[in-house]
Amino acid sequence: MNIAYIRVSHVDQNWDRQLEAMKPYEIDKFFKEKTSGKNTDRPQLKAMLEFAREGDTIYIIDFSRLARNTRDLLRMTDSFVEKGIGLISIKENFDITTPEGRLWLTMLGAFYEFERTNSLERQREGIALAKARGAFRGRKKIGFPENWEDVYSRWQRREIKAKAAMKELGLNQTTYYNLKREYEQKQQSAQAASAGA
């Protein structure tokens, strides 16, 4: 089957231009949606990916309809290749079933890896420079809220559940349990010091 995925970013936009561009390709099924392409969590995109089978070809007007970043695009095209599904981007004149398309994918993967390595390197260099200036402190440590002891005591006496305690303290689950562990370790250390005195 020839499958088309059509997306516009805003509800006030229409997809007439994309539909017109698909006419020469004898599309059997359309998946259309009006939503941002900032991530791949899109209902019609998911439906299309579940619907497509080996031997099908997916048509898009350009890569930005499918994905907004190289990582997501590579992940999807790799998935298509594995499942034996074709992908044709009309604007870029790109077809992953051809030798040229597979070469382009390889180059895109290498470019993404190069981009990622450079980004990590710049991040490390920036941290090193900030440390040298004494400006880097890492992630700011979250301290104990003022009502910690009261809420913790009530939780320990089973008067409230952990979720209620988190809500009262304004903490998420990870932070709550990290602070709980730290608090209990401090208590144990204080008890040990008191016993040894």
Write out the catalytic residue numbers: 9
Are 154 and 130 in contact by the 8 Å Cβ rule? The answer is: no
Structure tokens at 49: 């990916």
Neighbouring C-beta atoms of residue 32, cutoff 10 Å: 14
Q: Which of 179, 188, 6, 1 is nearest to 90 (CA)?
A: 6
Q: Apex CA 137: angle with CA 130 and CA 118, to 5°?
A: 45
Q: Cα(158)–Cα(39) distance, rounded to whole angstroms?
A: 42
Q: Among all chains, which residue has been given the structure tokens 């997809």?
A: 15
Neighbouring C-beta atoms of residue 21, cutoff 10 Å: 18
Q: Cα(177)–Cα(187) distance, rounded to whole angstroms?
A: 15
